[in-house]
Amino acid sequence: MQKILIYDTTLRDGSQGENISFSLEDKLHIVKKLDDVRLDYIEGGWPSSNSKDCAFFQHAQKLKLKHAKLAAFGSTHHPRHTAAHDRNLQALIEANTPVVTIFGKTWDLHVQVALGVSLEENLDLIRESVAFLKSRGKEVIYDAEHFFDGFEADSAYALATLKAAEEAGADIIVLCDTNGGTLTTDIRDHFEAASKQVKTPLGIHTHNDCDMAVANSIAAVQLGAVQVQGTINGYGERCGNANLCSVIPNLELKLGIRTIGKKNLQQLTEVSHYVSELANLPPRQDLPYVGKSAFAHKGGIHVSAVMKTSSAYEHVDPAAVGNERRVLVSELSGKSNVIYKAVERGLSIDESAPDAKVVVEKLKVMEHDGYQFEGAEGSFELLFDRLVHHAKEFFELDGFRLITEKKGGNESYSEAVIKLRVDAKEEHTAAEGVGPVSALDRALRKSLTTFFPCIQDIRLTDYKVRVLNPKGATDAKVRVLIESTDGHDTWGTIGVSENLIEASWQALVDSITYKLKKEYGYGRTTVPVSKP
């Protein structure tokens, strides 16, 4: 089976993306994670560019990598220095990595304007830099920067730069679409022309400025590229780099070309989320293969078909990339969505009874009013039990009162007073908070903990407010989404109202009720712990 080498540049090219800044510890953790899934090359950074990358290579020498080769990145030597006395090349040697990747100018525009040397001098820079690094025992990967633009401007010169790298002993020559603006037809034409001129194995490095990076990488492989460079999640400058989380499964599952192997491919979704977490960016839900929405089904017809055969609306098995199928419930749902969701969450339902239809009709009415259960599956489960099983609530509200006070220049504070009943027992409690929702949450928990001690385990991890009709100004309807956890499970709940407090109350009640249902079983009428 054909094998393609995967070269990851998340820690260098990926970190040039907007809002991305990896700490030294982040970079070391990512290296270990990428090595675990058997990526072939991991580019750690540019040691002569900043102190963090210098420190990274010092610490990275202590890592015991099982498969991946660590690469240091830099450029051809400065025109005013010889290769042997160039600080950049010396830093690459001192990084003590088995692989060094350097880029050189391919486009005559960059040679004469950006670099400010003659075309022949640039060829000397390439030859001398590659030869110097080879003489120091390094595996040298040569990145032909702006190759495709350079080929368009002066194909003969662009190819001459590749020949210079080959003559000096480069192990792999990588053709770079640095501006990311080349279409696949031109990638094919120019790659084919290069492969006829040099015998050195070729690689591909694409950017995503016209949303073609993955397609262009695949096209190059089909023409003989032995290495693909890219980043996890497609992170990178401007519009990003080729997304390895798409490149790898496309090669493995669509073309039958080996990259990291089928077993490691099952960890791809986990790797994607891990890197996004360390990048301090939310995982993109719409990413192919690894995104949360990649195998999400909303339309009733889709779900009905998927329940019969998954291939009806899924191009691969989600488990092959470590992802999972999700069925969403909304106003577009049919009976199939509700049945699938009920079975998935272990809810009892008679498929022949009208129960599912009752839930579907209620969902459509509620979504028209602004509810959205895609991020609030806890509330969906409670709604299902209330409609289908006529479940009894754990507690009843008699009423609550909120007071918010501000004195002078001090910060305002809120107090909530709440009265509720569990069976025949009444609880009257007050609590303060930094705002009215915070105070209400604390008062509700304080009241119920007396009866249900497990409530102490609940922690709110997210609180979102969405204005549904902005033109309504201060009378606009709002949707509140709350995410909660008890340390083991995480669930989302929802509330909708023209009143922010009321919407928050609905979501808070569902959050606590979901925990109680999970702990005690819905509809319990006896109090787990009697009030002293």
Q: Show me where the domains of the chain are located.
A: 5-278, 296-368, 396-520
pLDDT of residue 390: 80
Q: Do the beta carbons of residue 191 and residue 220 sit within 8 Å?
A: yes
pLDDT of residue 436: 92
The single residue listed with the structure tokens 């994670």 is 33
Within 236-368, residue ranges assigned H as helices are 244-249, 262-265, 268-278, 300-308, 335-344, 355-368
Which tokens is 319 given? 């488990």
**CA neighbor of 515 nearest in space, from 419, 444, 436, 434:** 444
Distance CA(71)–CA(129), nearest Å, equals 16
Which tokens is 307 given? 């329940």
Calculate mean pLDDT across residues 447-472: 87
Mean confidence (pLDDT) of the chain: 89
pLDDT of residue 361: 73
The single residue listed with the structure tokens 């309807």 is 477
The residues near 302 (Cβ < 8 Å, ≥ 6 apart) are 312, 313
Distance CA(26)–CA(37), nearest Å, equals 17
- CATH value of 396-520 in 3.30.160.270, 3.30.230.10, 3.90.79.10, 3.40.50.620: 3.30.160.270
Query: In angstroms, how far is CA 458 from the centroid of its own chain?
Result: 26
Sorting pLDDT into bands at 50, 70 and 90, what band is 337?
Answer: low
Q: In what order do the strands lie in the sheet with 425-433?
A: 396-405, 413-422, 425-433
CATH homologous superfamily for the domain 5-278: Aldolase class I (3.20.20.70)
Count CA atoms closer than 13 A to 172's CA, side-chain side. Answer: 24
Residue 87 predicted with pLDDT over 90: yes
Pair type for strands 425-433 and 413-422: antiparallel
Amino acid type, 265: L
The single residue listed with the structure tokens 């949303």 is 211
**CA neighbor of 504 nearest in space, from 444, 445, 437, 455:** 437
Per residue in 266-322, pLDDT tens? Answer: 999 999 999 998 998 888 989 999 998 888 766 555 555 555 666 666 789 999 999
Calculate mean pLDDT across residues 164-178: 98
Pair type for strands 326-327 and 296-297: parallel
Q: Do the beta carbons of residue 231 and residue 244 sit within 8 Å?
A: yes
Residue 444 predicted with pLDDT over 90: yes
pTM: 0.72
pLDDT of residue 180: 97
Distance CA(295)–CA(274), nearest Å, equals 19
Distance CA(55)–CA(47), nearest Å, equals 8
Sorting pLDDT into bands at 50, 70 and 90, what band is 391?
Answer: confident
